[in-house]
Amino acid sequence: MTDTTGRTLPAADPAAVARTAVRDAKDAGGGTSTRLGTWLTLPAQLLILFVAVFPLLMQLYLSFTDWTPLSGRNWTEAYTLWAGTWNYEDVFADDRFWGALGRTLLIVVVAVPVEFLLGLGLATLFMDEFPGKRVLYSIMLVPMMIVPAVAGYMFYLLFQSDGPINGLLSAISGQDVAIRWLTDPDLAIVAVMIADIWQWTPLMFLILLAGLLGVPQDQLKAATLLGAGPWQRFRTIVLPKIKTIIVIALAIRVIEIFKIFDTLFIMTAGGPGVATETISVFFYKIMTLELAWSYVAAAGLVVLVGLSVVAGVAMAFLPKPGKRA
Amino acid sequence: MTRSPAFHVFRTAALLLALIFVLIPVLWMVSMAFKPIQEWSATGDLLTWWPRDPTLDNFRYIFGERTSELIVALERTAGRPILASLLSSVVGTAIAMLAGTAAAYGLSRFGSGRNLPLALIQLRLFPPLAVMIPVMVMWAYLDLIDTWWGLSLVYGIVTLPFAFWLMKTYFDDMPREIEEAALVEGCSRFRVLTRVTLPMMRGPLASSALLVFILNWSDYLIALMLTTREWVTIPVYMASLSSSMTGQLYGAKAALGLIAAVPPVILGIAIQKHLVRGLTFGALKQ
């Protein structure tokens, strides 16, 4: 690494390094620099406390009450509307909640594998040299840079029943196509998945390409000379090398799609009916339309606990994502 | 590696298909942004991929100019939402970068705040709406609803994990010798950080800040919950931009979408070398 300040720094002579080592050892014992470390981490700790830990406790409290912003009481007095575990009992009996959870998981299990396979295929093609590769690489990254709400609007326009997608299909098939992409309950969820695949396949591509570039080429050449086919090369050399990277890419997408809201909400607002109502849309609607805040507080905590359990189990079984690849 | 001609054909076809798939949605919205009102909902043969009669009316319209007798003037123009997006994203980025960089340095050099890496990952795990209730109650209590500063504070914490993890990997990678040399010269630990380490980290700091800015700028959900009127951001304003009075403002919304989409696309391409590291929390380096 070069010194970008332009100043000349004294070369570290062995004696100096030894002295520093001694000083560092003293620091570790609780000197001024440890205190500096505490001060440096303080703002982040306070932010977490203020916007994560404290709110969670508050949410737990509200979830045992019947409080809403319309109850005319300060939230601190929510205990006067004590509801015990009613909210939680309601959550577990609420078909709409479980339906939303199911649809969210459906989007996850369809979109993530499609994004992964498309991304892997594209990344494999980018392992070769071809004219225009750099420009194409930049273009391929554009979808993930688009503001998700704007991407939602793009697909909202595309999927109008008299819109360009049906126009294209009409031109290709030679007959009038009028598919109700966004208003047919079965198709709306497909349209939403297509939008997500469009926007996030580039991320898979980007991550997987970085992984593939790290696979030693000489090993692949040697395997080819020894007569290994493409599939065999992939399975025995490439796959073990990029396994961690695949896990990271999949984990990121599963987490993010589970939260899906922006694109979907702009496209369908969860409709028609509840056909595309995911867990985030469900929370949003109950909060804004029914103002049942304490109920959402309870449902949110149920999701939080569920996700933590799943994440904990996944961490125990999968290779550690924190490990350097 | 030598490839057969059939493979070349296949590769070209596949890349072409990917290119078309990527460009179609963008192309349609860009073209819509330049279409006059008569072409907004053209159907059949009149539905064209390029405006037949390109115009800047849509852009003029969202900034408050009356451009056509067909639509009534907007009650609220796009200027204020653009300002709201800029202020909340920039200040949110500043909060995330200041807190994140300081904490990353504290952990990387002094081992302070060992709870932070996991706590910040967990923060990304949960759907924001599942934990939004108490934030909204608090923000209402503190009079922070519908203010850009209240929004930027939430942005600061939401993107803190990215700032922290990115800077931590950069600090971990940095050779210690230079800092040690400065210490030997008699600099205090704090002076070493501000005079030696941070100037050396200008590149990583800039690219991390840009990534965090893109993420803040891209938000829709949080602004939807925390702003109502005065300080709505571009995406919230855009979504609200059709009424019974004006009908579907396809072209105007597309123009606004284009304005919202351009900055992150340009910035994203500029920092593409850092994207892998940034979006995988530093787990992968390109």
From residue B72, how far is each of B32, B60, B67, B229, B245 by CA, in Å? 19, 13, 9, 20, 7
Reported as a single tens digit per residue, the pLDDT across B192-225 is: 888 888 998 998 899 999 999 999 999 999 999 9
Judge whether A201 and A209 are in contact, CB under 8 Å: no
Query: Would the CB atoms of A280 and B24 count as touching at under 8 Å?
Result: no
Nearest to A62 by CA among A299, A296, A287, A294: A294
* Mean pLDDT of the region A205-231: 87
B181 Cβ under 8 Å from any chain A Cβ = yes
pLDDT range class, residue A123, cuts 50, 70, 90: very high
- The shortest CB-CB distance from A12 to any of B15, B119, B181 is to B181
Query: Would the CB atoms of A41 and B141 count as touching at under 8 Å?
Result: no
Is pLDDT of B58 > 90?
no
Query: Would the CB atoms of A48 and B120 count as touching at under 8 Å?
Result: yes
Model pTM score: 0.88
Is pLDDT of A5 > 70?
no
pLDDT range class, residue A229, cuts 50, 70, 90: confident
Domain boundaries, chain A: 96-291
* Mean pLDDT of the region B170-190: 86
Name which residue leads in pLDDT, A233 or A33: A233
**B chain contacts of residue A3, beta-carbon cutoff 8 Å:** 178, 200
Query: Would the CB atoms of B107 and A37 count as touching at under 8 Å?
Result: yes
| Per-residue model confidence (pLDDT) at position A15 | 46
Q: pLDDT exceeding 90 applies to what percent of chain B?
A: 42
Query: Would the CB atoms of A44 and B178 count as touching at under 8 Å?
Result: no
pLDDT range class, residue B67, cuts 50, 70, 90: low
**B chain contacts of residue A47, beta-carbon cutoff 8 Å:** 95, 99, 156-157, 160
Judge whether B60 and B235 are in contact, CB under 8 Å: no
- The shortest CB-CB distance from A154 to any of B28, B49, B110 is to B28
State the best of B149, B256, B284, B285 to mutate against chain A, taking most chain A CBs within 10 Å: B284
| Per-residue model confidence (pLDDT) at position B240 | 85
Spatial separation of the C-alpha atoms in residues B159 and B152, rounded to whole Å: 10
pLDDT range class, residue A2, cuts 50, 70, 90: very low
State the nearest Cα–Cα gap between B235 and chain A, in angstroms: 6
Spatial separation of the C-alpha atoms in residues B235 and B90, rounded to whole Å: 16
Q: Which chain A residue shows the shortest CA-CA distance from B98?
A: A43
Instruction: Provide CATH code, domain A96-291.
Output: 1.10.3720.10
B9 Cβ under 8 Å from any chain A Cβ = no
pLDDT range class, residue A28, cuts 50, 70, 90: very low
Tokens representing residue B144 in the block? 């922070």
State the nearest Cα–Cα gap between B186 and chain A, in angstroms: 11
B217 Cβ under 8 Å from any chain A Cβ = yes
**B chain contacts of residue A12, beta-carbon cutoff 8 Å:** 177-178, 180-181, 184
Query: Would the CB atoms of B112 and A144 count as touching at under 8 Å?
Result: no
Query: What's the distance, CA B218 to chain centroid?
Result: 4
Reported as a single tens digit per residue, the pLDDT across B215-255 is: 999 999 999 999 988 899 999 999 888 755 566 788 889 99
